[in-house]
Amino acid sequence: MSPVPPTLSGEQHDPLAELRGLAARHRQLNEQLAELDREQSMLVRRARNAGYGWQMIASALGVSRQAVHKKHGRR
């Protein structure tokens, strides 16, 4: 018998299976975040090429001018 304790409702949950599921969801989220980061970089480049300043871009992103310049300034 496995060392999986029953829940209050009598169901048994395998914590290792739940951890594997959580790890898979974490990997998916990281992939989505990486894709969003790539898209943001592309859009910031397009905005800069269109003549928008760092302050306007930062405002659109809801961050400080310094933050957006630090992340995208020297790419």
Convert the pLDDT of each residue in 16-45 to its tens digit: 999 999 999 999 999 999 999 999 999 999
Q: What DSSP designation does 10 have?
A: S
Whole-prediction pTM: 0.74
User: Residue 1 falls within a domain, yes or no?
Assistant: no
Instruction: Pick 4 or 45 by higher pLDDT.
Output: 45
Q: How confident is the model at residue 11 (pLDDT cuts 50, 70, 90)?
A: confident
User: Residue 39 falls within a domain, yes or no?
Assistant: yes
Report the distance separating Cα 27 and Cα 35, nearest Å. 12
Task: Determine contact, residues 11/17, Cβ cutoff 8 Å.
Answer: no
User: Residue 40 falls within a domain, yes or no?
Assistant: yes
Helix axes 15-49, 54-61, angle to 10 degrees: 150
Domain coverage including residue 53: 15-72
User: Residue 5 falls within a domain, yes or no?
Assistant: no
Q: How confident is the model at residue 51 (pLDDT cuts 50, 70, 90)?
A: very high
Domains contained in the chain, number: 1
